[in-house]
Amino acid sequence: MNRTHSASFTHGTAYKVPLIAKTNRWFFREMKSLPSWPVTLVLALCISVAICASGYLLWADLTSSKIAGCGDTGGLVDCGHVAKTRWALWLGVPVSLLALGIYFTMAIALVVGSVGWFSRSVRKVSWVVVTVAVFAAGLSAIWFIALQMIVIKHICLYCMIAHACGLVATVTMLLASPLRAKAMLAAAALSFAGFAVLVVGQVFARPQDMHRIERFDNPAGSESEQIEFAPPKDRSPAEEELNEQPNDELFQPPTSDYHSATALWPDLVSVYFPSQARIALPTFLATEMTADDASVPESANRRIVAIQGGAIKLDISQWPLIGSNDAKYVLVAMFDYCCPPCRKTYMTVTRARENLGDQLAVICLPVPLNSTCNPSVRVTNPNFEESCELAKLAVAVWRVDPTRFASLHNWMFQGTVVPSYADAKVKAARLVDEKKLDAEIASGIPEKYIAKHVEIYQQVGAGAIPKLMFPSTSIIGEYSSVEGMVDVIRREAK
């Protein structure tokens, strides 16, 4: 028995060793002279830059730090957005970590293959490893560039730097690799096998929630640091001065030219009209102003909703709202109608509302990721070209008839395709009186509301949206768990 086992073991070992030796000899036969120093230098530069870029992205991911110099406001170049998508992970592992693994392997093999301290056979094996790793990096670069340009529609600058290095290294090896054609094909096949594992792992893995949670002390700061945001109203400066409360730190609302003019009427009447005529005219003016302001009623019992740990306060009756003013739970949502993560998060909030019923109300603050109406955005992504107009239209519908706002809001978030402004305008005109809608848009008040939303957005740190904000917690980014959302609302909303 012992002899049989010994013979079998010897036979198996003898079988494996010649197989490895034959593979090595085959690669060596298919290998030209080792590359010269210019090839090594180009590869070394590419590897060094790629390691730095990938290492920084991994550090930013592990520490939840903002990625420097790469935007975080929805523009075409937006590393923060790319880093929050499902494509930034492979089976839960950051792809930047995988990139570091490939490039460090490449670096070690390049050093061994270029230094004369090692035998020629070891150096040849190292160049085979370099070739396989370079081709894997090149295939991965093509994959991730395509994802960013076609699927994500945002670009990560640091990712692109690493991908460019991978492509340059690949071209260099195609032109100056020590491997002959057959060995190159074998190396490419190995690289493609590894690349296939990457793609399958990303495509078929269950997407994870790409969001982060911020928590705030309650209260945040002293009383003097707490801000109540007043919405824009069409009052005259004189009325604003009369209604001003010196102890409240309010953002003073902008004024409308129409109401500034009507504020002068009492003075004109006292000069040009007899006392009998003055009896009826103030009543007429009061009726006109009441009718104009009826779209945004002010409750006698104000209900204040706080966010950012109480640092910012909003009067629930003064902002676009879905749900009842008396709802048990209220959350504040910042979004852009053109933002894909916002659309997915909207579905989550909608299902949470179905679960909670009338207990949940949502203050809706559209924040366009468009530099035309949002100075926080430096470069506007073409996908957000009509963000400002869509946001103003939604506010205008709310101003004309608050009961119809939810219908337009839900319609604009339906499906995966963002409606054009022209289509949204047609829809809005079916929901409310078209003449009143056009007059409201022309008044400029919806535009002033959007400016206020942007101001609040800047106060809470700008950056990525959607933002779902509660008194002491904010959820930033795409959120897809309905059960988790319901739990957060019950725990955090007031």
Q: What is the pLDDT of residue 185?
A: 87
Confirm if 470 and 451 have CB atoms less than 8 A apart. no
pLDDT, tens digit (0-9, with 9 covering 90-100), for 241-250 = 444 444 344 3
pLDDT, tens digit (0-9, with 9 covering 90-100), for 215-235 = 776 544 444 455 666 677 665
Averaged pLDDT, 361-366: 96
Q: What is the pLDDT of residue 433?
A: 95
Greater confidence (224 vs 120) lies with 120
pLDDT, tens digit (0-9, with 9 covering 90-100), for 282-319 = 333 333 333 344 444 444 467 899 898 888 999 998 99
**Residue in 300, 370, 303, 371 with CA at minimum distance from that of residue 332:** 303
Q: What is the pLDDT of residue 262?
A: 36
Per-residue pLDDT band for 266 (boundaries 50, 70, 90) equals very low
Per-residue pLDDT band for 28 (boundaries 50, 70, 90) equals low
Tell me if the pTM is above 0.85: no
C-alpha 163/C-alpha 144 separation (Å) is: 8
Greater confidence (244 vs 474) lies with 474
pLDDT over threshold 50, residue 104: yes
Give CA 202 to chain center in angstroms: 19
Percent of the chain at pLDDT > 70 equals 74
C-alpha 384/C-alpha 367 separation (Å) is: 11
Greater confidence (360 vs 177) lies with 360
Averaged pLDDT, 481-485: 87
The two tokens of residue 349 are 């909030």
pLDDT over threshold 50, residue 265: no
Domains and CATH numbers, the chain: 31-208 (1.20.1440.130), 213-217+296-492 (3.40.30.10), 234-293 (no CATH)
Query: Strand runs (DSSP E) across 240-382, as ranges?
Result: 304-307, 312-315, 321-322, 329-335, 360-366
C-alpha 132/C-alpha 147 separation (Å) is: 23
Averaged pLDDT, 52-71: 83
Handedness of CA 218, 219, 220, 221 (dihedral sign): negative
In one letter, which amino acid is 247? Answer: N
Residue labelled with tokens 């530069």 = 45
Which of 78-82, 394-398, 432-436 shows the lowest mean pLDDT across its residues?
Answer: 78-82
C-alpha 374/C-alpha 272 separation (Å) is: 46
Q: What is the pLDDT of residue 319?
A: 94
Q: What is the pLDDT of residue 258?
A: 39
Q: What is the pLDDT of residue 146?
A: 95
